[in-house]
Structures are given as C-alpha cells and as structure tokens.
Amino acid sequence: MLLTTFVIGTDDFVIAGLLPEIGNDLHVSEAAAGQLVTVFSVTYAVSAPVLAVLTARLPRKALVVGGLVVFAVANVATALAPGYGLLMVMRVVTALVAASITPAVFGLAGRLSAPERIGRSIGTVAAGLTVSLFVGVPVGTLVGDAFGWRATFVAVAVFTVVVAAAAAYFLPHLTGAPEVTVAEKLRILRRPAILTCVGGTVLGASSGLMTYTYIAPVTENLTGKNGAVLALFIAVVGVAGAVGTFAGGRLTDRWGADKALLASFTGLVVATGALALIGAMADHGAPVWLVALALALWGFAAWGFNPPMNTRVIQLAKEAGTEAVALNTSGLYIGIALAGGVGGAALATYNGTGVSLTATAIGLAALVLMIITIRRYPAAAPQAPAPTPEPAPAS
C-alpha cells in the first residue's frame, strides 16, 4: 500500500520538475504547462469524496488493482500525447483514478490493522506520498532530463504495473463498505466533527506546504546562499518528513490521534515561527546549521500530522471511514493550492520572511481550530494491545 501512494505521489508531483521540457516540446509557456499541476489538484479535490461514495460497494482489492492498471494505461497515454490539449485531458483522467484509489488504500490500512496499530499503518501508507517528494520526483526529473519528459511517464507506468502485480498478489480479498445508504454516509460526512477535521487539514497543509513550495526564496533570504546549500536543506526536509510521517503514526497509537495531532500542529507553528524570527533577526546572515535545525523540525511536524488526522476521521466516521478520508484528502489538495497562492502573495509583499510569518499565522489558526474541536468531539482513546495469554503450567 505504501508503494501505491508512492507511485501516485510521484505521478502527481514530478510534473513540476518537467515544466520547461513540456513547454518547449509542446510550444506552450511554462505558466500554461504549470496548469497541468493545477488541474490535477483541482480534479482530485473535487472528485475524491464523490468517487469514494460511488465505489464504496466495490471489493477493495479489485478497486485498487484495477485502478492501478488504468493508472498505468493513462500514464502511457500521457507519454504519447501529441499536444497540450490531450495532455491536459490525461491529467484529469489520472487525477480521477488517483482520487478513487488513495482513500481506498488508507481505508484498507485501517481495516487490516489491529485497533492499537491503526495510526502506524496509516502512517506507513502516508509515507508513500512523503517519500515520493524526495525520491520519486528527483529520480523522475533526472529521467526527464536525460531522455525527455515522455520517458518519465513511461517509467511511472512501468513501475505502476509492478505495484499492481504486487497488490494483486499480497492484498487480501475484502468486501466493500457495509450496507449503509448514500444518504446516511452523506449525513455522517456533514457532521461538524468531520468537517472541522477537513478544515484543519486545509489550514495545516496550507501552512506546511507553503514553506516547501517557496523553500528556495525562504532559505536564500535567511542564509544568503543557494545551490548546494538549498540541496542540503531539501535533503534535511526530506529525511525529517519521512521520519515525521512514520513517527506520527506511532505517536497516534501511543497517545491517541487527538494528542498526536495537537503535538504535530504545535511543532509546525514553532518551526515556522522560528524561521520567521531567524529571518527578522539575521537577514541573509543566519547560520546554515540553525536554519537546517528549524527546517528539520518543520519537516517532521508538517508531514507528521497526516497519520493522526486520517486516524481521527476514520474513528469519527466509522462506517463511512473511507469516504471521510477522501473528503479529508480533498482538504489536503485545497490546502496545497492555497499554499501556492497565498504564499506567492506573501513572498511578493515581504520576501521569504513574509512566507514564514504567513505560514505561522495559518498554522496557529489550525492549532486553535483543532484544540476547540477536539475538546468538543474527542476521538477514541488509544487501545492497548491485547495481553498474550500465559502458557498453562506443566503438569
């Protein structure tokens, strides 16, 4: 399941590194090529909850394996697209397939794990998205530089086929959702407890991804350095983000989703606030090690809130858990879109420090929202593992 989210995340994010090549090959501007990223995110955000409801009764293994096969075919068609228009259509198709698979995989993680290990299982699945940013995307970009952007999507298609084969072999056969009417599921999804989780995800993703989107101008404003130092910062964030995703799952199992979530949002606010403070006090002269330390804390917290948040919505939604995860994932993509727009305005107004200040304010709003909603709608307490029965004494 980790490989499923890895390949989907790679396909989603790698196109950002291929924009110049796509623009030159298809004779469009980089700004126009950038809309391929936008259309994927918007399509995913709008369609994920709807597709989760429509596919709820399908057997889980058939949905995941079949979806991966369609995803591979769509990537081959993407590589063969003769023009910008068809390429845009294929990004819509791949987004629709991704929006149907990803929530199902998170739901499977919750159903297949023991109650006391749900957070860990969801954290492992979420790590696929994190690792795709710092492994899949750089590798895909290198393939594109060496062999052209079309080769990148062929490579994604080939790897998707491998993942589909692994899913067909390893995933157990599970039925779809229990007999719950669509009206009942929609009623569950309209609960304030669920909607406030989605709101927290929108704000948390906007705060966290804003710093990542503009990491180059933010760190250059702090240290006055770019190039190799920027690569170091990205590596630090990548390692911290991967560790944070796994740790977020383990802390969810140990502390419960609510406490782990509040800890993640607190760390996010502290980290972005530290970046803003460093920028205000040491403009272009901050030590590299100090900035790297703040980025490590930020990467850990920014990606660490995904497991407890998804665990929380599954626990609150119960029989509509997969649909709730889909709605929450839509919130993630909305947050990513807001991060780009709001962060760009902050950068234009007050350089990289403005981005950090804006991210801090949004992160603080997310923390306050979740403190209020957790007090009113607490999730389930963590469950201790069942005790191992002692062997009977020998006679």
* Residue given tokens 């609510």 in the structure block: 258
Same domain (yes/no): 292, 319: yes
pLDDT at 177: 55
Looking at the structure, do residues 70 and 155 belong to the same domain, yes or no? yes
Residues 167 and 209 in one domain: no
Choose the final residue of a domain: 129, 153, 176: 176
> Which residues of the chain fall short of a pLDDT of 70?
31, 174-185, 381-395
Tally of CB atoms within 10 A around 231: 11
Q: How many CA atoms lie within 13 A of 133 on its CB side?
A: 19
Angle in degrees, CA 257, 305, 298, rounded to 5: 140
Tens digit of each residue's pLDDT (9 = 90 or more) over 227-254: 778 878 888 888 898 899 889 889 998 9
Rounded CA-CA distance 225/230 in Å is 7
Amino acid at 172: P
For residue 268, what pLDDT is reported? 94
Cα R_g (the chain), whole angstroms: 21
CATH number at residue 257: 1.20.1250.20
Residue 20 lies in a domain: yes
* pLDDT value, residue 151: 94
- For residue 161, count other CB atoms closer than 10 A to its CB: 18
- Give the pLDDT score at 292: 93
**pLDDT at position 68:** 95
342 and 298 in a common domain:
yes
Chain Cα centroid distance, residue 234: 17
* Predicted local distance difference test score (pLDDT) of residue 394: 47
Residues contacting 139, CB < 8 A, separation 6+: none
pLDDT value, residue 182 = 60
How many domains are there within the chain? 2
In this structure, the answer to whether residues 163 and 70 fall within a common structural domain is yes
Instruction: Let me know how many helices (H) and strands (E) the chain has, helices first.
Output: 16, 0
User: Which residues, at least 6 apart from 201, have a Cβ–Cβ distance to it below 8 Å?
Assistant: 309, 328, 331, 332, 335
Are 145 and 243 contained in the same domain? no
> Do 203 and 139 fall into the same domain?
no
Give CA–CA dist 203/360, Å, rounded.
11
